[in-house]
Amino acid sequence: MARNYSTKAFFRHAPNPLLTRYFKKHNCLLDFNFTLLKENKPDGLFDAWLTLDTSIKQELDTDFQDIFNLSCEKGIKAIIDEATHHAPDNLSQFNEELAAKKNFYDMAFSTLLNYPTYWKGAVLFFHADSLGNWRKRKNIPKVTPSCADIHLQKLAALIASYFHLNEGKGKHCFVEALKRGPLDYFFAYPEDYSQRSHEWIKDEFAPRPHNPAFEIVYVYNQQKGSLDLYYKGNYKAVESLQVFFAKAILGVEELEPVKNDSRVYDLNPLLNADFNFVYAPNSGIEDIRISTLRLSSKIKKGDRITLEGDSKNNAQAVYQLLNNLSPALSLHNYYLTRVEMVASVLIAAGKPAKNIRFAITYPNSCSLKYEAEDLLLRAMLEQSGVEPKDDELAF
């Protein structure tokens, strides 16, 4: 279920001692008597909050929204991942501190106040975990990435120059890098087209021009020699963005041609109704059902047929539909370019399984995120041969 933020609800859930520390740290509401504030009854605090200057509320509310976002199991995992990199020797102590907290709000809020150096990375990891439609490229050299400022600036310059010259945006760009276990994350923020939005500026409502940034995220796995790219834009830019990363961060001038990477996801076996997904019995994965198949013509480019079956009530529905239409389709003239499926995953004992819908699009796009259960499904795809291992790729 989606969680919706509101300042008043946040005050209700956040521990009063932490709210007191936070406002004192920011020299706000110094005249408010926090000792009279009762837990879970924030009306008095909210009334005082409404009296603050708008610019102050805007600044503080961004912190509150980040705390709210990270006040969940996935958010705490992102915090621990960042803490692991910052202070691996003190991780046990940090984990014990978190375990002693009352709830997720207490854990996240305490981290912001007590370990501010962990906060930015945790927020970025949580955000990256929520992104879908990653494009994977294998056959990437397995070298140690260079994360010094000079290399990040080189990547930023390559990205900015590309979008400025080809699309008239992106004159400026900023890149930062974070380590997360075996993965290296790179967040790039090129300048987008100028926009004009209607905003409240103090007491005046008026259109205001500004230059937002758009987002590019790289996730590099040195052990596997793979690069995942998140970018919402013209597909033509994808290969260039991958090459820029190789040049600036890996010190590699050229990558293997993209055509050698066309089998990142091998969908053809999924045309077989008897295909079995492979996963460990203790993985939490209970069931996987294919709901949609998209077939693309080998004869006429652009011609597609999409089949959707009622997989909820019949696991074989889409295959029965395919079988009924096969005589008319001449299946040998088509190949499978997109599969949509539903995985039933047990997240916690005693709770019903969670249904996770995701899609794989040929050759290298997957809508799975980098959240805990999504990582289980990514591993399942590799174990099942849908994502071939490096030695199985036909170069």
Q: What digits encode the pLDDT tens for the residues 320-337?
A: 999 998 888 788 889 899
The yes-or-no verdict on residue 1 having pLDDT over 80 is no
Q: Report pLDDT for 85.
A: 87
The yes-or-no verdict on residue 394 having pLDDT over 70 is no
Q: Which residues contact 145 (CB under 8 A, 6 or more apart)?
A: 177, 184, 220, 222, 249, 250
Residue 343's Cβ-count burial label (10 Å; 0-12, 13-18, 19+) is buried
Q: What is the tens place of the pLDDT at every residue in 198-251?
A: 777 767 787 878 889 999 999 999 999 999 999 998 888 999 999 999 999 999
- Give the helix/strand (H/E) hosting 151: helix 149-167
Q: Report pLDDT for 325.
A: 87
What is the model's pTM? 0.77
pLDDT band at 268 (very low <50, low <70, confident <90, very high): confident
Q: What is the tens place of the pLDDT at every residue in 44-67?
A: 999 999 999 988 999 999 999 999
| Backbone phi, psi, residue 84, to 5° | -60, -40
The residue ranges of every structural domain in the chain are 7-129, 134-258, 268-392
Contact 110, 101 (CB under 8 A): yes
Q: Report pLDDT for 301.
A: 87
Q: Report pLDDT for 393.
A: 38
Contact 110, 99 (CB under 8 A): no
Contact 138, 264 (CB under 8 A): yes
Q: Report pLDDT for 260.
A: 46
Average pLDDT, the chain: 90
Mean of the pLDDT values across residues 76-104? Answer: 91
Q: Report pLDDT for 196.
A: 81
